[in-house]
Copies of this chain bind each other. A is one copy, B any other.
Amino acid sequence: MQAVIIVIGDEILSGNTVDTNSAFITSKLRMAGFNTVRIFTVPDETETIVATFKTAWDLAEVIITTGGLGPTSDDKTVPALRAFFNDNYRTDEATLQHLKKLLAERGRPELFDINKSQAEVLSSAVILQNDLGTAPCQLIEKEGKTVLCLPGVPLEMKNLVTSKVIPFLSAKYKTHHLLSRTVTVVNIPESRLAQMLTNWENQLPAEVKLSYLPMGSRIKLRLSGSGPSEADIITVFDNLTAALRPILGNHIISERAETVEEIIKDLLAAHHLTISTAESCTGGQIARLITDVPGSSQVFLGGIVPYDSLQKVKLLQVKQEDIDTHTVVSEKVAQQMSQGCQQLFKTDIAVATTGVAGPASDAHGNTVGTVYYSVRFRDKELTKRLFLPYLERSDFMNFVAQRALQTVVEMVLEETRI
């Protein structure tokens, strides 16, 4: 089953706003068995939107728009929809009541004409109420196809997609759900792994596909499964994973993780290890990534961003003389930071960063893009230097954080080797 997404809004085409809506929608559609074949990003112009609907109509069964549903005259999605379907407007009483309630909660008891305009919907549309905002989702069905108009506010769009749009589409098109599960395996060559899994692979049900994805020292085993029931696929995955355990034992470091921070959480939790962070040039990004993982409080005890160099001395026991001699962006300081961090938070592992994020070089002659990061595991320590002069500040912070987390994984794997 095919889908097209139409992203509507001048603010996207000017580069002022990054569209994250279409990635969210395509990912949810995919899991529900719909294949997104195009994303069109178009301006707030009625004619262009109508022309794009015409193109989309020939490409897919499901057309989803996001954006352009506001109450002002520069929002053109509903007029375009009216023109495309040659339809009329009607006032939707339920939407009107919802608007009254919502605006009253926001302390605006009176409904102005401009507010009321959001209750003007296509005569042929079914309304999926937007519990978190004022623009309702209109759903129009014709010739077996479905058009759905979603608001552009990510929060409102996400809530509608998850709670109403996907359940509706799944029920209507009786699509097969498509899920995947990733098991991460280490310390074993791919050929040996394939050999060990021969019997297990031979017993894979027909609806499950397996891929081997080598990622440096790790191999990801990705299971992809499809079927009419999401719960059934999950059960199949659970059983397959359970059957892997006696074969691979400690070679499995995670049964779910996709990202490096998810692997860290699973790996540390399995070995009852704890971690803390001391970040200068990454400004909290490593802590932010680790805490993004639900349940990270099991392994992450805390982090510090000792931005001012006095804080490095005071809180992390970095020696002032080493800062004076080697500058704050140096191997010595990185090492002392990870050691001080480990002592402050009393964790098994500590990771520290210090560097020049730019845009200019620092006052001590350290060139922009220079960074040292240090990972400490109990009494072992590893410091690495990176030089990333071509990265913008924000990209630099993200890149260093990713590399530091990769090093944590490698060091933990090395030190806990079976």
Q: Is the CB of B41 within 8 A of A22?
A: yes
**Which residues of the partner chain B approach A154 to less than 8 Å between Cβ atoms?**
395
Contact among B287, B307, B391 with A305 in the assembled complex (CB-CB below 8 Å): B287
Q: Is the CB of B291 within 8 A of A284?
A: yes
What's the least CB distance linking A206 to chain B, in Å? 22
Q: Is the CB of A292 within 8 A of B283?
A: yes
A277: Cβ under 8 A from any B Cβ: yes
**Which residues of the partner chain B approach A310 to less than 8 Å between Cβ atoms?**
301
What's the least CB distance linking A24 to chain B, in Å? 7
Contacting B at CB under 8 A, from A1-58, are: 7, 12-20, 22-30, 35-43
What's the least CB distance linking A351 to chain B, in Å? 13
**Which residues of the partner chain B approach A131 to less than 8 Å between Cβ atoms?**
390
Supposing A15-B25, A277-B305, A285-B284 touch, asked if A42 and B38 sit within 8 A by C-beta, the answer is yes
What's the least CB distance linking A250 to chain B, in Å? 27
Q: Is the CB of B302 within 8 A of A305?
A: yes
What's the least CB distance linking A114 to chain B, in Å? 17
Task: Report the bound CA distance from A357 to B296 in whole Å.
Answer: 11
Point out which of A38, A283, A296, A394 has the most chain B C-beta atoms below 10 A from its C-beta: A283
Q: Is the CB of B294 within 8 A of A288?
A: no
Task: Report the bound CA distance from A27 to B14 in whole Å.
Answer: 6
Q: Is the CB of A390 within 8 A of B159?
A: yes
Q: Is the CB of A390 within 8 A of B155?
A: yes
Q: Is the CB of B40 within 8 A of A13?
A: no
Q: Is the CB of A304 within 8 A of B307?
A: no
A105: Cβ under 8 A from any B Cβ: no
A117: Cβ under 8 A from any B Cβ: no
Contact among B13, B311, B392, B397 with A288 in the assembled complex (CB-CB below 8 Å): B397
Contacting B at CB under 8 A, from A351-368, are: 357-360
Contacting B at CB under 8 A, from A124-183, are: 131-132, 154-155, 158-159
Task: Report the bound CA distance from A297 to B296 in whole Å.
Answer: 29
A393: Cβ under 8 A from any B Cβ: yes
A340: Cβ under 8 A from any B Cβ: no
Task: Report the bound CA distance from A158 to B391 in whole Å.
Answer: 9
Chain A interface, number of residues (Cβ within 8 angstroms) = 73
A303: Cβ under 8 A from any B Cβ: yes
What's the least CB distance linking A177 to chain B, in Å? 15
Task: Report the bound CA distance from A41 to B301 in whole Å.
Answer: 42
Contact among B7, B28, B285, B308 with A15 in the assembled complex (CB-CB below 8 Å): B28
Contact among B7, B306, B360, B395 with A302 in the assembled complex (CB-CB below 8 Å): B306
Q: Which of chain B's residues has its CB closest to A306's CB?
A: B302
A345: Cβ under 8 A from any B Cβ: yes
Q: Which of chain B's residues has its CB closest to A5's CB?
A: B41
Q: Is the CB of A39 within 8 A of B25?
A: no
Q: Is the CB of A15 within 8 A of B30?
A: yes
Task: Report the bound CA distance from A294 to B20 in whole Å.
Answer: 25
Q: Is the CB of A394 within 8 A of B292?
A: yes
A318: Cβ under 8 A from any B Cβ: no
A290: Cβ under 8 A from any B Cβ: yes
What's the least CB distance linking A120 to chain B, in Å? 26
What's the least CB distance linking A182 to chain B, in Å? 12
Contact among B290, B308, B360 with A283 in the assembled complex (CB-CB below 8 Å): B290
A377: Cβ under 8 A from any B Cβ: no
Q: List 8 A-B contacts (CB under 8 A).
A: A14-B36, A38-B41, A38-B42, A284-B303, A291-B307, A294-B359, A294-B393, A311-B345
A14-B26, A15-B27, A303-B305 known, 19 other contacts, Cβ within 8 Å: A13-B36, A15-B28, A19-B23, A37-B43, A154-B395, A158-B392, A158-B395, A284-B284, A288-B288, A288-B397, A291-B397, A292-B397, A294-B359, A297-B307, A300-B307, A301-B310, A301-B311, A302-B305, A303-B307
Across the A-B interface, give the 6 residue pairs with the lowest CB-CB distance, nearest first: A15-B27, A283-B291, A284-B284, A284-B287, A39-B41, A15-B26
